[in-house]
Amino acid sequence: MVTSVDSDAIRLLGDPLRSRIVALLAEEALCVCHLVEETGAKQTNLSNHLKALREAGIVETEPCGRYIYYKLVPSAVEAVAQQLAGIAALGRETVETGRRRPCP
């Protein structure tokens, strides 16, 4: 039986810019001005993506003076990775055993 996957988190991480943001935040905490510099995206676009990632619990914020730094929540990414790994393992088993549902 397949466990449900957090499809919202997968959808969020499937976006190229969001996945780039997550990869950058895996290396270090950054503020929006750094992300603009690294990605070339507009500040408003990045802010919208960061809001979605924050609401999903994938990133969190840390105030620092007049700036807000964003940092990755590794456990959130690990949870999605574990869900996908479980599905891949089940798929591997299905392929290896040739399991299929019979037609009526």
The pair of three-digit structure tokens given for residue 34, joined into one six-digit string: 């750094």
Structural domain boundaries, residue 69: 7-96
In a domain, 21, yes or no: yes
Query: What CATH number is given to the structural domain containing 82?
Result: 1.10.10.10
Residues 17-65: pLDDT tens digits? Answer: 999 999 999 999 999 999 999 999 999 999 999 999 999 999 999 999 9
Please, what is the average pLDDT of the chain?
92
| pTM of the predicted protein model | 0.81
CA atoms of 84 and 1, how far apart (whole Å)? 14
Q: Which amino acid is at 1?
A: M
Total structural domains in the chain? 1
CA atoms of 20 and 82, how far apart (whole Å)? 20
In a domain, 1, yes or no: no
